[in-house]
Chain A
């Protein structure tokens, strides 16, 4: 592999996946937590399972760790069925949401815990623990107990503990949920760094879409036990497969309409009586007359005082609300029919007077490739 090659084993048909979910279903009584999942995860991937709480992402991970067994289907690790292997003999380690640090052991003993179970010689254990302490920069805190260190340090101990045994697969269950926003962002980059250094395959469960987008090589969006879309972060963001994904990741305008015309890859969507049809490029063939959803991100809509000359799509309305976020401003524009469209502009000038204010009449314009046309 040359250094220029993009890391994308999922596109290579010769690549063997590290983990394969084959028609995996997990039911708890009447409740189906995981519904017939087919999924391949490759070596050295940083794979994110993303979804709202109760979507089955944690159950999926707990099946990998061995704390749950599939009701139907098989999970293969390195081509071998892992169902009969108990959690203590799996080559996976898990970082728990609560960190689950042993309160009666010091930081050093917590990290050494897994190594001691393998009955390795003491000097080897000590060397490995020192290496882990260096990796997470906690050498100074080795003799402290978990309640004697801060939340961020506890998180790093938990990470060092599950990395110590050099697992084939590291599972992270909402690892950064308990940290504040700034620390969480720093830690995300640390995680990526450690993942690259150790070459371990990471599977992370999170409900935070920004976190998934930041750290992951691929993201699986889940809903009600099913995989809705599995793709790289940019594809998930720019080419969502459904309005559910589009809505879950980032901010989006979703306009419901009907296909009125199709010419090659271009479609026309009638979406409001007193508005011009939307012109957009569609990736899928849609029959005229069928219902379609047009999803467009606010940052792809330009806002201007006069009608944009070149944009294939332009609507006019009144500014209803302005959300100033520092780096960007989001304008909520109300069209004459009552529909509200969000548009964003970057605040490039510092303290510049705002171009538009409440109740101003403005024009919104976008190109025909700015949004995606979705069937559902």
Chain B
């Protein structure tokens, strides 16, 4: 049945080329010895060395990491709380409006989110810097967390919580000891999503930042405007490598967990 016609082969090649050719060029040129980005002058790891010595890039990377960790953690807490409340609250007047409003920031243009946050920060007289970027990232990424967590909670067997209450848990203990451990995978993937969104973000961060804080995407963007340097290529290659390793690890771990579970269930059924 498995025929590999030339049409399949062509479409596959074209598709992958479309997706990965730009990145491949970037990776290849990061090992270029020449100062000029478009002229190949032999293999070298020189730009990686330069990158490590570039204080400005390292600072930006450090700011980005701090912002991403803090904002995604706050967003996860708030997003999980929002999802839990909306799923558990049952029906009340305006419930659809509320849950719709949670999702609205997903489709809101980033420029508008950024601008409105900027106006808010100016209005309340908050000094712009790392703190404002963290707040802005928390705001837009918590709705992503809430979407991920609420879809998990929708399929969550309510009787597990009732069983916990029945066995003597207070409602908070029931959440901490039963609900949270069970929905933990969704909460973690919500955190990862928020973390990635924060790492990626250029537009909103540009709006709300001040002179003291520059994130990596902002740094890359402003450097590129002065001309693409091979250092940027090297930096991008490192980022691609980190993301690739992360994605592959995550999928391997979840695949292994599913396989182990299926094996256990088969064993249990056979022993019955």
Contact = CB atoms under 8 A, between A and B. Distances in A.
B159 A113 contact: no
A261 interface: no
Contact of A104 (B166, B173, B182): B182
B162 A102 contact: no
B167 A114 contact: yes
A119 to B, nearest CB: 10
A40 to B, nearest CB: 23
Nearest to B160: A100
Given A87-B162, A104-B181, A113 B264 contact: no
A87 B269 contact: no
A155 to B, nearest CB: 11
Contact of B166 (A87, A102, A103, A153): A87
Interface string A132-172: 00000000000011011111110000000110010000000
Interface in A100-127: 100, 102-104, 113-114, 117-118
A147 B261 contact: yes
Interface string B161-174: 01111111110010
A96 interface: yes
Given A104-B181, A145-B264, A147-B265, A113 B167 contact: yes
B157 interface: yes
A354 to B, nearest CB: 39
| Prevailing SS type, chain B contact patch | helix
A55 to B, nearest CB: 20
Contact of A100 (B162, B265, B267, B268): B162
B167 A93 contact: yes
A117 B159 CA distance: 18
A150 B265 CA distance: 8
B272 A96 contact: no
A98 interface: yes
With a 10 A CB-CB cut-off, give which of A65, A92, A149 has the most chain B CB atoms: A149
Nearest to A117: B168
A153 B170 contact: no
A94 interface: yes
Contacts of B271: 149-150
A136 to B, nearest CB: 15
A31 interface: no
Contacts of B167: 88, 93, 113-114, 117, 161-162, 165
Contact of B163 (A94, A148, A150, A153): A94
Contact of B168 (A94, A104, A118): A118
Contact of A98 (B159, B173, B178): B159
A117 B169 contact: yes
A114 B168 contact: yes
A61 to B, nearest CB: 12
Contacts of B182: 102-104
Contacts of A88: 165-170
A26 to B, nearest CB: 16
Interface in B167-225: 167-170, 173, 177-178, 181-182
23 contacts: A66-B165, A87-B162, A88-B165, A89-B168, A90-B166, A92-B166, A93-B167, A96-B163, A97-B159, A98-B157, A100-B157, A100-B159, A100-B162, A102-B178, A104-B181, A117-B167, A144-B268, A147-B261, A147-B268, A150-B271, A150-B272, A152-B272, A165-B167
Interface of A: 65-67, 86-90, 92-94, 96-98, 100, 102-104, 113-114, 117-118, 144-145, 147-153, 161-162, 165
